[in-house]
Chain A
Amino acid sequence: MAVPAAVDLVDLALKATTAYERPDLGARLLQTRKRLADPDVRVLIVGEFKQGKSQLVNALVNAPVCPVDDDVATAVPTVVKHAETTSVTLIRDKGDDSKPERIDVPVGKLAEYVSEAGNPGNKALITYAEVGIPRKLLSGGLVLVDTPGVGGLGSAHGAATMSALPSADAVLLVSDAAQEYTRPELEFLEAAMKLCPNVACVITKTDLYPHWRRIVELDKGHLEKAGFDAEIFPVSSVLRLHAAKTEDSELMDESGFRELVNFLLRRVVARSDDLDRRSTSHDVLSIADQLAAGMRAELAVQENPERMQDMVEELTRAKARADDLKERSSRWQITLNDGVQDLQSDIDYDLRDRLRSIQREAEQLIDDADPAEIWEQFSEWFHQQVSSAASANFVWAAERARWLATQVAELFAEGAEVALPDLKFDDEGMAKKVDPLEQPESEKFSIGGKLFSGMRGGYGGMLMIGMATTVAGLGMLNPLSIGAGVLFGGKQIRDEKKRLLQKRQNDSKMAVRRHIDEVTFQVGKDSRDMLRRTQRQLRDHFSALAEEVSTSLASSVLQAQNAVKTTTTDREKRIRDLKAEIGRIEGLATRAKALVEGQQAAAVGSGKSL
Chain B
Amino acid sequence: MSVQTPPPALGAVVRALLRRTIDAYQDSPQASGWLRHNLARFDEPLRVAIAGKVKAGKSTLLNALVGEEIAPTDAGECTRIVTWYQDAQVPKVMMFPRSSPPKQLTISRSGGALSFDLQGMPVEDVDKLEVQWPSQSLRTTTLIDTPGIASLSKDTSSRAGAFLAPDDSPSQADAVIYLMRHLHATDVHFLESFYDQGVARATPINTIAVLSRADEIGVGRLDALSSARRIARRYRADDKIRSLCQTVVAVAGLLAQTGRTMRQHEFTALSALAQLPRADIDGMLLSVDRFSRTELDVPDSETRAKLMDRFGLFGVRLGTTLIRQGMNDPSQISNELVKRSGLDELRSVLATQFTERRDLLKARSALLAIDLVLTREPRPDTAPLAAEVERIFAGAHEFAELRLLSTLRSGTVKLPVEALREAETLLGGDGGSAAARLGLEPTAGYEELRAAALDAVTRWQRRAESPMSSRAVSDVARLVVRSCEGMLAGLGVRSQ
Contact = CB atoms under 8 A, between A and B. Distances in A.
Interface of A: 48-50, 70-72, 151-152, 154-155, 178-184, 186, 205-212, 214-215, 218, 222, 236, 238-239, 242, 251, 254, 368-370, 372-374, 376-377, 380-381, 384, 482-483, 485-487, 489-490
Contacts of B240: 376
Most buried by A among B157, B195, B216, B224: B216
Contacts of B243: 376
B286 A179 contact: no
A49 B288 contact: no
Contacts of B289: 206-207, 254
A49 B55 contact: no
Interface string B220-241: 1000100110110010000010
B224 to A, nearest CB: 7
A208 B219 contact: yes
Interface in B54-68: 54-55
A210 B216 CA distance: 12
Contacts of A482: 412
Interface string B170-199: 000000000001111110110010010100
Contacts of B312: 208, 210
B197 A182 contact: no
B185 A486 contact: no
A483 B217 CA distance: 40
Nearest to A179: B55
A251 B76 contact: no
B77 interface: yes
B372 interface: no
6 contacts: A50-B217, A208-B312, A210-B309, A215-B75, A254-B287, A483-B412
Contacts of B76: 180, 214-215, 218
Contact of B219 (A152, A186, A238, A373): A238
A368 B197 contact: yes
Interface stretch (B95-103, B147-155, B258-266, B329-337): B147-155
A184 B219 contact: no
B154 A207 contact: no
Interface in B431-489: 471-472, 475
B154 A183 contact: yes
A48 B305 contact: no
B184 A49 contact: yes
Given A207-B286, A215-B75, A50 B151 contact: no
Interface size class of B (residues with CB under 8 A): 35 or more
B182 A486 contact: no
B308 A210 contact: yes
B186 A152 contact: yes
A485 B287 CA distance: 56
A207 B224 contact: no
B185 A151 contact: yes
B54 A182 contact: yes
Interface string B86-99: 00000000000000
Contacts of A369: 197
Given A215-B75, A369-B197, A482-B412, A71 B202 contact: no
A486 B475 contact: yes
Contacts of B227: 70-71
Contacts of B213: 178
A380 B312 CA distance: 37
B219 A178 contact: no
A308 B188 CA distance: 80
Contacts of B185: 151-152, 154-155, 184, 384
Nearest to A204: B219
A63 to B, nearest CB: 18
B407 A70 contact: no
B410 interface: yes
B75 A211 contact: yes
A70 B217 contact: yes
A46 to B, nearest CB: 15
B162 interface: no
A480 B453 CA distance: 35
A332 B312 CA distance: 63
Contact of A180 (B77, B186, B195, B234): B77
Nearest to A158: B185
B218 A222 contact: no
A489 B197 contact: no
B426 interface: no
B152 A183 contact: yes
A210 B288 contact: yes
A367 to B, nearest CB: 12
B313 interface: yes
